[in-house]
Structure 1
Amino acid sequence: MDGLSANNRKQPSKSSSRSNIVKWLILALQLVLAGIFLWSAVSKFMDIFTFGEILRSYKLLPDVLIKPLAILLPIAEFFVGVGLLIRPVVNYAAWGVIVLSLTFAVGLLFNYGEVLPYGCGCFGPEDAAAVGIWDVGKDVLFIALAALLLILNRKKALA
């Protein structure tokens, strides 16, 4: 026996286990959001031409912006996804999630109820479908998850 009674052994404190829960929650948020944004970027890169047509179907942008944005948006999603996996830039990437998702949500709201030929196009072309609450709700959820990530990272930094 090591000479320590059960009462003398160091027990983990409640704040220590809360800290571990917060660390795991932060990691889960990072991985989920990174997976979503990387999947979205790759699905658009796989057919950049069709993604341009998806953008055109929203009827919000002049034709001159369609091609550049069809290339730049998936690149931005890719960098945000990768940034969520790199500790020093996680907060910047979380802000990227918020900005991109807010932009997408606004575009969806402008087309709410409209039948788009490729669906919302959020993860590449889909079947024609009306833009509905689920489409907008996904972006609102991503914004909420990124905001939670920022809040948890701030609390962790202050602890």
Structure 2
Amino acid sequence: MDKHEGPDAGTIRLDDPWYDALAVDWGEGDSNGGEGGGGAAPPRPAGSSEIYLEVQRSAAFQEVRGRYRGFVVPATAAFLLWYVAYVVAATAAPGFMARPVAGAVNVALLAGLGQFLSTFLLTWAYARHARLRRDRAALDLRWTVFEQERGHGRARNREVGR
């Protein structure tokens, strides 16, 4: 993280290679020199698509995607199964769902509250998994792309400057 001097001295921002560099060389206006506004996406720097394709094919990217799928697919399946089981039980076994547990609290109420609790637990588990297993590798990939784009831009500038 970087601390900044000046009027924003109290602010801290993540040292993200794309924080300021995302729009560099992406054209501030249209190709005629005027301001854009036609709704089209700004042009990418030449050669950037090759860099992204190379990163997508890399083992590091495939590992990050594999870790993502390894958590999301089973978690989504388990959550949907739990939700469908709740709905099916509520419609197919109303006697069971109406069974009192403690006072006015019945099985249906506990299962419904369990739906909310499982949503929060799943959100926490996803955030924890992302922080521990994917964020560092994804940031490393981001730095790699940033460095490749910067190096590619320097080479292009040397060719144009000849």
> Which structure: larger Rg?
2
Calculate the TM-score normalised by the size of structure 2: 0.36
Identify which of structures 1 and 2 has the higher relative contact order when contacts are C-alpha pairs closer than 8 Å and 6+ apart. 1
More helix by share: 1
